[in-house]
């Protein structure tokens, strides 16, 4: 057993060292506190592994992203979202029978209970869709009560993947004052989502193959990303043996944050602001470099990718393709490409390795597809759900699953006597 030596206050401790299948080295500190009384400190967990996982591998320096060993570039080009969902959750690419059965099961669960539909329709049309989605996913427990956290897992997995898009589309229709459109069993997963969102009774809506392919690619690219903020939240909540619906609802809430999944919405808001400010993108590049400005270049930077986000590279090509095919001239794309060009040359960004991330181009594609900005993070959640489910399944399958309970270093007051109010 390889070990790492730690010397602390004159004592030496041997800590076990292990290595993953891609050569990642970790130091096991599980016994450190009991042996030395000390804990480690790593605010934001930037250097701390919470688990071993066989689902997704990222190499931030090389810009590598693989789901169950398959390169994201191959999956984006050759697979489909529903097949990638199966791969992430069950660990292997499905054969024809397995894929057909999985698709059929998901399709069969795409309807939501009419009482859930009524709950969606009780929300103000101006409500943010992520708040509605989180509440409705958690509310699935009212219709499918789980005796315990791992009962009826396979059916609940299908229910979640199927119903997240119906819930999302139903509320979208409410937000634009149009009648809801029920799911159709003859459409693909992504085609169903587009149809539920954009078809209207007065028109014979046809799902565009270009948009169906672009959206399917977007969902594939968002499907998992190892232990990011929302996935770590899912593991945290899942470790308490909360049921799968409550656990996924927590993931949605974490993803909503503008520094995480909410960034795609913020990217467009930022680009529109720059457009309305005379397209003066150089001014905003300078603001982004000024700590006191409070302005961040949304869609840039990443905790892990320190050269490029492979998803951004794929999405940049997809954005060009979608806009060219649809004949859309979007000044926001021009501004985005100017921001990217400058960032790739400017020392502030180069030194800090701040490159476009997945959110930088996804918002532009969603916008070109007619998806409203308030629904961008919902699309991210629909894509990320299979990843959350796969990570939750891996966590809850552990024989020695323990509730997550990090430690802290207390920096508050030392013990002091209570003082009656008249003496304060
Ligand atoms: C996602 O983890 C995942 O996998 C997430 C995700 C996934 O698929 O799940 O990939 C999805 O969340 C992508 C990230 C989307 N968020 C944004 O685009 C928001 C803008 N980006 C930043 O908020 C930031 O880059 C983060 C949050 C993404 C990463 O933050 P870190 O790793 O904590 O980096 P940091 O804040 O420590 O920044 C390091 C330096 C700082 O400057 P110095 O103190 O060293 O002088 O870079 C600066 C920061 O001020 N910096 C930026 C910046 N991001 C970092 N400066 C200007 N604009 C930015 N966007």
**Per the residue annotation, which of 216, 253, 309, 359 is the catalytic one?**
359
Query: What gap in Å lies between CA 132 and CA 128, rounded to an integer?
Result: 7
Residues 162 and 174 in one domain: yes
Å from CA of 301 to ligand 1 middle: 4
Domain-embedded: residue 401: no
In the chain, the number of structural domains is 3
Would you give the distance in Å from CA 224 to the centre of its chain? 7
Residues 362 and 377 in one domain: no
pLDDT at residue 321, rounded to an integer: 87
Residues 126 and 242 in one domain: yes
Residues 157 and 219 in one domain: yes
Range of the domain at 207: 72-256+373-396
The DSSP letter of residue 414 is: P
Question: Any residues with CB less than 8 A from the CB of 146 and at least 6 apart, and which?
Answer: 152, 156, 243, 244, 245
Question: Any residues with CB less than 8 A from the CB of 246 and at least 6 apart, and which?
Answer: 138, 141, 237
pLDDT at residue 355, rounded to an integer: 87
Residues 171 and 206 in one domain: yes
**Per the residue annotation, which of 222, 225, 302, 309 is the catalytic one?**
302
Q: What is the position in ligand 1's atom list of the atom closest to the CA of 44?
A: 33
Total count of residues recorded for the chain: 424
SS3 305: coil
Give this prediction's pTM: 0.94
Main-chain dihedrals φ then ψ at residue 71, nearest 5 degrees: -65, 140
CATH classification at residue 141: 1.10.580.10
- Minimum CA distance residue for ligand 1 atom 40: 352
Query: What gap in Å lies between CA 104 and CA 45, rounded to an integer?
Result: 40
Which residues does ligand 1 sit against, CB inside 6 Å? Answer: 225, 228, 259-261, 263, 288, 296-304, 352, 354, 357-359
Å from CA of 229 to ligand 1 middle: 12
Domain-embedded: residue 87: yes
- Minimum CA distance residue for ligand 1 atom 22: 301
Residues 119 and 186 in one domain: yes
Domain-embedded: residue 420: no
SS3 33: helix
Å from CA of 352 to ligand 1 middle: 10
Residue at a domain's end among 46, 65, 84: 65
Å from CA of 184 to ligand 1 middle: 40
- Minimum CA distance residue for ligand 1 atom 23: 259
For the chain, the C-alpha Rg in angstroms (whole number) is 23
302 catalytic, yes or no? yes
Domain-embedded: residue 287: yes
pLDDT at residue 320, rounded to an integer: 86
Residues 154 and 231 in one domain: yes
Domain-embedded: residue 418: no
Query: What gap in Å lies between CA 135 and CA 374, rounded to an integer?
Result: 16
- Minimum CA distance residue for ligand 1 atom 4: 228
- DSSP element (H, E) containing 376: helix 376-396
104 catalytic, yes or no? no
Main-chain dihedrals φ then ψ at residue 67, nearest 5 degrees: -100, 115
Å from CA of 105 to ligand 1 middle: 39
Using most ligand atoms within 8 A of CB, pick from 256, 301, 304, 313 the residue to mutate for ligand 1. 301
Residues 83 and 224 in one domain: yes
Å from CA of 145 to ligand 1 middle: 39
Question: Any residues with CB less than 8 A from the CB of 262 and at least 6 apart, and which?
Answer: 130, 255, 256, 377
Residues 218 and 304 in one domain: no
Show the low-confidence residues of the chain (pLDDT under 70). none
- Minimum CA distance residue for ligand 1 atom 48: 352
The DSSP letter of residue 345 is: T
The DSSP letter of residue 298 is: T
Using most ligand atoms within 8 A of CB, pick from 302, 355, 388 the residue to mutate for ligand 1. 302
pLDDT at residue 343, rounded to an integer: 86
Residues 133 and 107 in one domain: yes
Sort 410 into a burial class: Cβ within 10 Å, 0-12 / 13-18 / 19+. Answer: exposed
Query: What gap in Å lies between CA 330 and CA 300, rounded to an integer?
Result: 20
CATH classification at residue 323: 1.10.230.10
Residue at a domain's end among 369, 386, 405: 369
- DSSP element (H, E) containing 16: strand 11-19
Question: Any residues with CB less than 8 A from the CB of 315 and at least 6 apart, and which?
Answer: 218, 221, 358, 360, 361, 362, 365
Domain-embedded: residue 338: yes
Q: What is the position in ligand 1's atom list of the atom closest to the CA of 309?
A: 10
Residue at a domain's end among 65, 88, 113: 65
Q: What is the position in ligand 1's atom list of the atom closest to the CA of 58?
A: 4
Inter-helix orientation angle 263-276/358-368, to 10°: 70
Domain-embedded: residue 326: yes
Residues 304 and 155 in one domain: no
Å from CA of 258 to ligand 1 middle: 11
- Minimum CA distance residue for ligand 1 atom 39: 352
pLDDT at residue 71, rounded to an integer: 98
List the 70-71 sheet strands across, edge first.
56-59, 64-67, 70-71
Domain-embedded: residue 244: yes
- Minimum CA distance residue for ligand 1 atom 27: 259
pLDDT at residue 113, rounded to an integer: 98
Residues 86 and 190 in one domain: yes
pLDDT at residue 332, rounded to an integer: 87
């Amino acid at each position: 057993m390889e070990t790492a030596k730690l010397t602390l206050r004159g004592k030496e401790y041997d800590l076990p060292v292990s290595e993953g299948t891609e050569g990642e080295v970790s130091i096991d500190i599980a016994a450190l506190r009991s042996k030395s009384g000390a804990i480690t400190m790593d605010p934001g967990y930037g250097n701390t592994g919470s688990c071993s996982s066989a689902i997704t591998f990222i190499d931030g320096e090389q810009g590598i992203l693989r789901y169950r060993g398959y390169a994201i570039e191959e999956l984006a080009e050759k697979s489909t979202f529903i097949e990638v969902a199966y791969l992430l959750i069950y660990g292997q690419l499905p054969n024809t029978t397995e894929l057909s059965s999985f698709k059929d099961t998901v399709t069969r669960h795409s309807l939501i209970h009419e009482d859930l539909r009524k709950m969606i329709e009780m929300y103000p049309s101006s409500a943010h869709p992520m708040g509605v989605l989180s509440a409705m996913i958690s509310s699935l427990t009212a219709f499918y009560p789980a005796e315990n956290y791992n009962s009826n897992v396979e059916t609940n997995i299908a229910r979640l993947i199927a119903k997240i898009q119906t819930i999302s589309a139903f509320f979208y229709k409410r937000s634009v004052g149009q009648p809801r459109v029920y799911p159709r069993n003859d459409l693909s997963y992504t085609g169903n989502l587009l149809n539920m969102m954009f078809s209207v009774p007065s028109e014979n809506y046809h799902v565009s193959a270009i948009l169906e392919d672009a959206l399917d690619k977007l969902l594939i690219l968002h499907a998992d990303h190892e232990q990011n903020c929302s996935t770590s939240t899912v593991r945290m909540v899942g470790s308490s043996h909360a049921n799968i619906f409550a656990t996924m609802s927590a993931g949605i809430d974490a993803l909503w944050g503008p520094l995480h999944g909410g960034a795609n919405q913020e990217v467009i808001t930022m680009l529109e602001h720059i457009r309305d400010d005379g397209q003066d993108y150089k001014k905003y590049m300078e603001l982004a470099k000024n700590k006191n400005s409070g302005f961040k270049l949304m869609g840039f930077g990443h905790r892990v990718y320190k050269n490029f986000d492979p998803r951004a590279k794929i999405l940049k090509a997809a954005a060009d393709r979608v806009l060219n095919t649809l004949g859309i001239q979007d000044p926001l794309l021009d501004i985005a490409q100017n921001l990217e060009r400058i960032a790739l040359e400017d020392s502030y960004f180069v030194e800090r390795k701040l490159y476009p991330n997945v959110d930088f181009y996804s918002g532009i594609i969603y916008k070109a597809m007619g998806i409203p900005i308030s629904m961008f993070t919902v699309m991210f959640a629909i894509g990320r759900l299979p990843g959350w489910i796969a990570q939750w399944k891996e966590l809850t399958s552990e024989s020695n699953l323990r509730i997550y309970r990090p430690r802290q270093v207390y920096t508050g007051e030392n013990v002091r006597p209570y003082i009656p109010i008249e003496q304060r």
